[in-house]
Amino acid sequence: MDTSGRNMLRMLIRVLTERMFKYLRKWFVAHFLGHSRQRARLVSKDGRCNIEFGNVEAQSRFIFFVDIWTTVLDLKWRYKMTIFISTFLGSWFFFGLLWYAVAYIHKDLPEFHPSVNHTPCVENINGLTSAFLFSLETQVTIGYGFRCVTEQCGTAIFLLIFQSILGVIINSFMCGAILAKISRPKKRAKTITFSKNAVISKRGGKLCLLIRVVNLRKSLLIGSHIYGKLLRTTVTPEGETIILDQININFVVDAGNENLFFISPLTIYHVIDQNSPFFHMAAETLPQQDFELVVFLDGTVESTSATCQVRTSYVPEEVLWGYRFAPMVSKTKEGKYRVDFHNFSKTVEVETPHCALCLYNEKDARARMKRGYDNPNFNLSEVNETDDTKM
């Protein structure tokens, strides 16, 4: 290898080494130092609320058991299935003990050596195991026909009626809770996705904050409505500090913010005007701001008519100033519309004013240039020609 070839090889190795160390430095900052500077969120990206209640009185906790239906629905699946299995097994075993007690009191068990003409309260109960099996058959209405209640004692008939009624109540409650848990619209909200970042750029000659949202299902959300809340800490003129003070943020599409035709990805935007809390922010000061933008989308599921809500949040590091979203909807040669989800959260850098105030000042300056203004202090005075100026 000649000298020029070796020099090119050294240069290539040096460039690759520099790029590798640059990538490792970014990865280290993002995965280690970035987590330490991560802001606290009230609402996570997937819509879960990061809040806990402390010092709740015992009397207030008892209210959860008063509203037992909502409490059971809000339980996680592992706790719900534990309650489901424990309730049925517990009721079967409890009534099995009662049937065993009836057989024991009536002396129907083999250890009492009943006579041949003895008629038991329940046929073929020989111990605790057979009593448990009879309880199971009675409550779930299996009816094998081997064990049955006789008309010998009224206690067994009353217990049979009581277990049948209680079994229907338990079946209705537990099966209804499982069905309601499966059909909750909360799962439908998982198929509504917001963009990873929000962007700020010009739209229609106005500075706007834009967010992209998509419905991953072909079924629509009826009566969709989208809005936002800006959460930040404020201090009142009286000196009171309000944590998580809420400010309304109006989001719209070109057709408004209600009854959205949610068949394709939508780009919603908030106009940054004099009434917007983002009006006095700039591209340089945005990362130093302390706020959380929570976006809500309410709608009715078309297939179940149940109302669902989708929410996400954005912190200042997730708001990109001077970017817009890449297009993701195209039309094929066959006349179909194609959505490319590869560009869903992809952004493109565009020329954008570094603050909303600068944009409005620029517009005012252009408007004044187009209009003429009279100066009331301007006076026109006539100047007489002197002899020196005459030819």
Same domain, yes or no, for 334 and 197? yes
Which range of residues forms the domain containing residue 113? 62-183
Q: How far apart are CA 182 and CA 190, in angstroms?
A: 13
Contact yes or no for 275/250 (Cβ under 8 A):
no
Q: How far apart are CA 309 and CA 245, in angstroms?
A: 21
| Residue 252 in this model has a pLDDT that exceeds 50 | yes
Q: pTM higher than 0.75, yes or no?
A: no
Q: In 10 A of CB 149, how many CB atoms?
A: 18
H helical segments located in 106-153: 128-139
| Residue 384 in this model has a pLDDT that exceeds 50 | yes
- The dihedral sign for the CA sequence 256, 266, 231, 290: negative
pLDDT digits (tens, 9 = 90+) for 96-147: 999 999 999 999 898 888 888 888 898 889 899 999 999 999 998 887 778 8
- So what's the pLDDT on residue 31? 54
pLDDT digits (tens, 9 = 90+) for 191-233: 888 999 999 998 888 899 999 998 888 777 888 888 999 999 8
Examine residue 4 and state whether it is found in any structural domain, yes or no.
no
Read off the pLDDT of each residue in 136-163 and give the average, rounded to a whole number.
Answer: 88
The residue count for the chain: 391
| Residue 56 in this model has a pLDDT that exceeds 90 | no
Same domain, yes or no, for 122 and 242? no
Amino acid (1-letter code) at residue 106: H
Q: How confident is the model at residue 292 (pLDDT cuts 50, 70, 90)?
A: very high
Same domain, yes or no, for 213 and 357? yes
Task: State the total domains in the chain.
Answer: 2
Percent of the residues in the chain that have a pLDDT greater than 70, as a whole number: 83
Angle at 102 between CA 98 and CA 104, to 5 degrees: 110
Same domain, yes or no, for 261 and 326? yes
Examine residue 57 and state whether it is found in any structural domain, yes or no.
no
CB-neighbour burial class of residue 68 (10 A; exposed 0-12, middle 13-18, buried 19+): exposed
DSSP conformational letter for 282:
B
Same domain, yes or no, for 331 and 205? yes
Q: Phi, psi (5° rounding) for residue 320?
A: -100, 120
CATH of the domain at 95: 1.10.287.70
Same domain, yes or no, for 273 and 237? yes
Between 383 and 154, where is the model more confident? 154
